[in-house]
Amino acid sequence: MTLTVQLFSDPLFILLIGVIIVVGGIIFLQLHPFLALILAAFVVALMTPYTAVEQFALAKGVAPAAAKALADKSIGERIAFEFGSTCGKIGILIAMAAIIGKSMLESGAAERIVRSMLNVTGVRNAPIAFLISSFFLGIPVFFDIVIFLMIPLAKAVSMRIGKNYLLLVLAITGGAAMANSFVPPAPGPLFLVGEMNIPIGMMMAGGTLLGLVTITAGFLFAKWANGKWPVDLRDSLDAKLEDIKSLAERNDSDLPSLWFSLLPVLFPLVFICADNILESMIKSGTLVPESAFVVGLFTLIQLLGDKNIALVTGGLIALVLLAVQKKGSKEGMSSFVQAALMSGGGIILITAAGGAFGGILQQTGISARIAALTQDYQMTLIPLAFVISAVVRTAQGSATVALITASGILSGMATSAHLEYHPLYLGLAIGCGSKLVPWMNDAGFWIIVKISNLTEKEALKTFSPMLVVMGCVGLVVLMIAAKLLPLV
């Protein structure tokens, strides 16, 4: 009896049940993703012992009284809290990104950007241009923002050239995903460099070099997947195919200027980047604002560089652009915004449900369970760092949590053990592992699926394996580099 209770309350068994409900519900029972994710979160929360929830909160540094209060909450309250927490992080972003994307498509701004880009790169090199652009944009800007801003351009390019939609989507997502786990000031790498005493400049340089290698491997996989399972550009509520096609056939004189077309995207990107750079410089002490003017300027940049405010401002600029192109037709404007928000609302619900499922999984103590399993495992440290990070990512869905968990487990080894190579290699191995394996418990997975209009099956057999390929290639490169160039 005791063994049965222990089995049912084991985080690994609870995880297995959650996986079966989500994957089985969506793929085999054809449940709507929102229902499958909420149902899985409910069952996982029901199976999680009171003590596990309390220990999870205490491990995060919460006061004992607050940890007990979390454990005392009902299952519904805990699910609603995690749902609301995810929604608070991405709700405004998704709504405004939907408006920006819809407005840029309808105004012809996306078509103008696409034509200008193809004039420079040529049709053959368009996917490579998307890959490199998304990687470097993903360094200062959150992964989901890169997806929101670039997928509408991928739709316009695909309509223009008549093929390679899957390749363009994978190029964007692969580039942004690798930057998010390798290069500060992304949150995960930023925590990791502090925990493992890795110089931030070295992490930025090493992460960029490794990122360029891994996205090359990802791009080769994406080209193969695009040839094997091509995906046609599909109708969606906020981007009708006939609308994109009619825009692709417009004369250049009917399209907005390039600078105006870029403004809805460039404004949020510039201010978010500027805010991140300023924050890093002020924290490190390399920049100390003195005059009232400089302080005021920094305050303005911090205000406009907040990701929510930046996207709202970008959305307003996009609406102004649309109004200019539509010659102030309020009726047309209203219908466009309504269509964008209806599409964005569905994405918010599914993404928040995915976040709730992932958050409830974390309360089972799955990260601590994995840490306990691996602490005495005899393996060389670089593969060990990769495996721990990969298992944590697959189990609970967040690359950032995987980075934080694995770096916490290995930080003692990195600082006290007599390593034959620089701890940078351990940090980058953790980053590689955090890419494996994105699936339904990852809010980012749902953002990609719903913004790009890929089905869950298509994403699971293209996007998810691509990140596995990139992570494994990164591990091999790191092990060779640590041997040939130990940096100590």
What does the pLDDT look like over 450-477, one tens digit per residue? 888 888 889 999 999 999 999 999 999 9
Query: 473-476: which pairs have CB atoms within 8 A and are 24 or more residues apart?
Result: 473/213, 473/214, 473/217, 474/210, 474/213, 474/214, 474/428, 474/429, 474/431, 474/432, 474/435, 475/382, 475/383, 475/386, 475/429, 475/432, 475/433
- In tens, the pLDDT along 134-162 reads 887 777 566 777 787 778 778 878 877 77
CA angle (81, 85, 90) in 5-degree steps? 150
Report how far apart the first and last C-alpha atoms of the chain are (Å, whole number).
54
* Tens digit of each residue's pLDDT (9 = 90 or more) over 287-304: 777 778 777 888 888 888
pLDDT at 223: 93
Q: Return the pLDDT at 378.
A: 42
Chain centre to alpha carbon of residue 102: 21
What is the residue-averaged pLDDT of the chain?
79
Question: What pLDDT was estimated at residue 413?
Answer: 63
pLDDT digits (tens, 9 = 90+) for 295-345: 788 888 888 888 788 888 888 888 888 888 877 555 566 777 777 777 677
Average pLDDT over residues 179-202: 74
Mean pLDDT of 79-88: 86
Q: Region 20-31: what's the mean pLDDT? A: 76
Per-residue pLDDT, 312: 87
pLDDT computed for residue 140 by the predictor: 59
Q: Specify which of 90-94, 206-210, 306-310, 364-368 reaches the highest per-range mean pLDDT.
A: 206-210
Q: What is the reported pLDDT for 187?
A: 63
Contact 45, 11 (CB under 8 A): no
369 or 459: which leads in pLDDT? 459
As a whole number of angstroms, the distance between CA 312 and CA 308 comes to: 6
Task: Show me where the domains of the chain are located.
Answer: 2-84, 86-264+320-349, 366-484
Question: For residue 168, is pLDDT > 70?
Answer: yes
Give residue 478's Cα distance to chain centre. Answer: 23
State the pLDDT at residue 246: 65
Separation of alpha carbons 394 and 358, rounded Å: 10
Q: Which two tokens stand for residue 376?
A: 């005495």
What does the pLDDT average to over 1-5? 59
